[in-house]
Amino acid sequence: MDHHSAGLLLLLLTCLTGFSTSDTGEGGTMGENAYGPSSLEIDGVSVVTVGIPYYFVCKASCFPDCTYSWTRDNVTTQGPVLSLQLLHAKPTETLTCTVVNPATGKSASIQKTMQVTAGPSNIRISGPTFLTSGVKSNFSCSASCYPSCSYRWTISWYGETLQTFEGDTVSFSPYTSTIISESLTCEAEDTVSHLYISTTVTLPVASISGISIEGDTTVTMGQTYTFTCIAACIPTCSFTWKYMGTTYLGDRIEIPILHEGDKKKFASHFEITLSDYSKIEPLTCVATNSISQASLNATVNLTVIDPISVRPASKDLPVAGKSFSLQCDGSQNPASITWLKNKQPMPASDRVHFTPDNVTMTFGPLLQADDGLYQCVVAEGGPLIQSVGYKMQVNYGPSSVVISGVDVMTLGMPYEFQCSASCYPTCQFSWTWGKETSQGPKLSLQLVDPVPTLNLACTAVNPATEISVTAQKTLQVIVGPTNIHVSGPAFLTAGVTSNLTCSADCHPSCSFSWVVTWMGETLITAQGSTLSVTLPANNFLSDVIVTCKAQETVSHLDIEKSLQLQLASLSNVTITGDSAVAIGKQYTYECFADCTPSCDFTWTFMGKPFENDRLDLTISDYSKIEPLTCEATNTLSNATITATMNLTVTDPFSVRPTSQAPPVAGKPFSLQCLGPQQPADITWLKNQLQMPASERVHFSPDNTTVTFSFLLREDDGLYQCLVVEGENRTIHDNTLVMTVVGGTPTLSVAYLMKVNYGPNEVLIEKPNEGPVGEVMLVQAGSTTELRCATDCFPVCLITWFYEGAVLSINVSVSFTPVIPPYTAALSCTASNPVTGQNSSAVTKVVVPDGPTYVVITGPRDLEMGVTASFVCSADCSPSCTFKWTVYGQTMTGSVIDITVNRQVSKESISCQAENTFTGETATANVTVSVSDPHWCGC
């Protein structure tokens, strides 16, 4: 730079004057420009059900205006609202909304994919048409659902729920033996839409009772009789007759039409002809239920009168090889007599002779083949009469005497020998060996002293014929293992390993083998001197036999030792006693179980335990059905099983409301004491304390009714009436001491009153943060968890509204704001369906936006030394702050005043707008011209 230029620049800087600025407040806007579409959103459900209409709204941020079109399955419709109703099921349905701003010529699209459901419909329960007491029946439920169904079962009796189950199948038996039918309800719910339907079937319980036989009990040989079997069966029974080893089926079934409440009776008839004689013969009818297969039987004894019989002609026994005679007794003047053997005619022969009148038949001699049933058939001018039979058994023997058993004995080991012979009647046997004798067909023999051989003789004697025959057997005696011993526990426990040891004296050594058996069946085999036994828990196992065999390793002689060990077992626990009980009475119950070696018993009733196998129980409180449980514990294995009996309290006094209206706070309400008889005196209790009268609580003259002029929430409680009759007595209980009229107090069934109230206060809350207040700031596109809190009983129904439209009917919602507008009302309304009251809470939702369209307004030409005002504005929600930058200096506020005090030609001004909630910023810049009309030009 030359000196001339430097001097000129210095002069210019010297002549320039400075400038100053100041804030003057808010003011000033700039015009809006067309924008959008932006912030597209489809408002509507995310799950649709086939056949149900739905509406969807497409929204976008646009200025000045936008057009909307929808595309679904290649079909296009116009307008921001779309009506949709699906006719067929498919996995998903996709909607496309296209928004066009005619002013800008721009367009944007958004899609919404919804899950599709269908049903439920066509619900059906499959299974048997009857239930069987004590037997589980299986049922299945099916329904048409898309994509799938869940199932819920309810088993009820006269409107009372007995059991509930989940799943498409259920298996159950009748709740008690006294129930005659149960209702089974299946509810099918679509797993996505949660729509549901239900169906109910009524199932009778199969039963059988009251069997009897009608007919004569005294019958005469040769005549025909009719007998009738009657039983009460639901639904039907089949009948079977048994007489003298023969089975008969009923020839006819009659089903009468009866009045309601009468038992159905099913009768079976059959005719029977007596052809054989037995002085008293049972006739049995068995009725079998066609569903449960349970059966009952009835028996009558038929007595036959005036028979003809065959008898021996003398008191001598029929002995083979000797003469014997039979005679036909009982007929006065027979026209003819025919003899039968085993139902076949008996001819004369060289050995069989008949008297001229055929009354006597003689065998000369008897043979063993003459055994049989002998009868005579007599004709007396009427029908043939067949006599009582004589069963003849010819006495013979002994012959074929045989000794069975080993031929070689080992010293010290026991052996069994059997002597048999062909004999009638049974022969008597005696044994002889050396100087020893023994009686009976079996001989147990164990030798102690060594001998080379032993002669064994068996003599068979027929006590009827007095004939004897002797058989002999020569035994070789050898030396083998001795002193075998098995050691181990006295009991075996199912599932627990027990160890046993076997020892014996052997020369030079022994090998050992084991066999564990039960009822002749082999369970375990093993080798070695020790045995580890682990038996499974089996209801059929009781005593097991453990056998050890010791065998000499050289001679291969062996010896065995067996132990019979009890298996610790537990099964078949049962409770005896009344299942129908009354309050104030004492009942006795006993618990039984099959236990080896023994059991301890524990009772549980209404949460209290009792020890012992016998329980004396007084019913002092009412529960319509209360379980009584007995637990049996094996004293050796500590295994346990339980049995349960449901006790049903019959005909109690009860407290009930006088009307169907529910108890509601602020309204009147009455309770009454109801029972099977008229009480002498009634005392009212609340939570086991006597209730006094008050300005708000009134009793009727006979104390049967208590009335609240208006209910309060503190009236919640358990209400009972104490009913007594007879002379005065004092009642002592843990929480109650009072004198009442009557000798037999009865405490009624309790009524638990819950006073319905509300909604008293409704708040919109953020979980774990508290109420949102009158204004709720939320970010665009963000999701806020909200809960509608209220004080309400029993439960209030919640409905959310956003921009006047229903948003949700759940207590909690995941709220995402709709843009635009940036400010809208969100409310929740709580409605109590019992009290009929409702209340609401409202908050204003503000969605922060901006800053956009930041504009600086003010003059574009400044005169030096003259103050000018500038305004900074922006579109901002909820609000913005402003920061200015002028010639390197910063200041705040939406309005500033500027005074230029130095010589410049141009000046840059910058304004930054910042959203007070989001912290987002945007900046606008302007450049102004500066002039000085008084500048000297130096």
* 3-state SS string for 351-372: CEEECCCCCEEEECCCCHHHCE
| pLDDT given for residue 17 in this prediction | 36
Mean pLDDT, the chain, integer:
83
Q: Which CATH superfamily is domain 15-28+849-931 in?
A: Immunoglobulins (2.60.40.10)
| pLDDT given for residue 840 in this prediction | 92
| pLDDT given for residue 123 in this prediction | 93
Question: pLDDT at residue 787 above 50?
Answer: yes
Measured CA to CA, the distance from residue 163 to residue 613 in angstroms comes to: 30
Q: How many CB atoms lie within 10 A of CB 275?
A: 10
Question: pLDDT at residue 24 above 60?
Answer: no
Mean pLDDT of all residues in 409-419? 84
| pLDDT given for residue 277 in this prediction | 55
| pLDDT given for residue 384 in this prediction | 74
Mean pLDDT of all residues in 897-916? 86
Retrieve residue 650's tokens: 């019959």
CATH 2.60.40.10 in the chain is located at 15-28+849-931, 206-305, 309-387, 397-475, 480-652, 654-748, 762-846
| pLDDT given for residue 489 in this prediction | 85
Between 861 and 650, the more confident residue is 861
Which parts of 619-767 are beta strand (E)?
A: 625-634, 640-649, 654-657, 669-674, 681-686, 689-690, 697-699, 705-708, 717-724, 729-733, 736-740, 746-747, 751-753, 762-766
Question: pLDDT at residue 740 above 60?
Answer: no
**Predicted confidence band of residue 205 (pLDDT cuts 50, 70, 90):** confident
| pLDDT given for residue 272 in this prediction | 60
| pLDDT given for residue 535 in this prediction | 81
Q: Which fold has domain 654-748?
A: Immunoglobulin-like (2.60.40)
The mean-pLDDT minimum among 135-144, 249-258, 348-357, 552-561 falls in: 249-258
Measured CA to CA, the distance from residue 286 to residue 301 in angstroms comes to: 15
pLDDT digits (tens, 9 = 90+) for 132-172: 878 888 999 999 988 889 999 999 988 888 899 999 999 99
Between 61 and 385, the more confident residue is 61
* Proportion of the chain above pLDDT 90, given as a percent: 35
Measured CA to CA, the distance from residue 184 to residue 194 in angstroms comes to: 21
Alpha-carbon dihedral 613, 618, 621, 626, rounded to 10 degrees: 30
Do the Cβ atoms of 193 and 47 come closer than 8 Å? yes
Coil/strand/helix, residue 871: strand
What residues are paired with 683 via a beta bridge? Answer: 722
Measured CA to CA, the distance from residue 506 to residue 486 in angstroms comes to: 15
- The DSSP annotation for 325-341 comes to EEEEES-SS-SEEEEEE
Question: pLDDT at residue 668 above 70?
Answer: yes
| pLDDT given for residue 351 in this prediction | 92
| pLDDT given for residue 901 in this prediction | 77
Question: pLDDT at residue 206 above 90?
Answer: no
Work out whether strand 280-289 and strand 237-243 pair parallel, antiparallel, or are unpaired.
antiparallel
- The DSSP annotation for 126-171 comes to ES-SSEETTB-EEEEEEEEEES-EEEEEEEEETTEEEEEEESSEEE
Q: Which CATH superfamily is domain 309-387 in?
A: Immunoglobulins (2.60.40.10)
Measured CA to CA, the distance from residue 258 to residue 260 in angstroms comes to: 6
| pLDDT given for residue 2 in this prediction | 41
Question: pLDDT at residue 26 above 60?
Answer: no
Question: pLDDT at residue 273 above 70?
Answer: no
The mean-pLDDT minimum among 27-36, 552-561, 578-587, 693-702 falls in: 27-36
Do the Cβ atoms of 713 and 669 come closer than 8 Å? no
Question: pLDDT at residue 238 above 90?
Answer: no
| pLDDT given for residue 730 in this prediction | 54
Mean pLDDT of all residues in 235-241? 84
Measured CA to CA, the distance from residue 461 to residue 482 in angstroms comes to: 37
Question: pLDDT at residue 9 above 50?
Answer: no
Q: Which fold has domain 397-475?
A: Immunoglobulin-like (2.60.40)
The mean-pLDDT minimum among 380-389, 511-520, 588-597 falls in: 380-389
Question: pLDDT at residue 658 above 60?
Answer: yes
The answer as to CATH 3.20.20.10 being correct for domain 762-846 is no
Question: pLDDT at residue 14 above 50?
Answer: no
* Proportion of the chain above pLDDT 70, given as a percent: 87
What residues are paired with 336 via a beta bridge? Answer: 379
Mean pLDDT of all residues in 526-547? 82
The answer as to CATH 3.40.50.10320 being correct for domain 206-305 is no
Q: Which fold has domain 480-652?
A: Immunoglobulin-like (2.60.40)
| pLDDT given for residue 473 in this prediction | 92
| pLDDT given for residue 267 in this prediction | 59
pLDDT digits (tens, 9 = 90+) for 440-494: 999 999 888 777 788 999 999 998 888 889 999 998 877 778 788 999 887 887 7
| pLDDT given for residue 554 in this prediction | 63
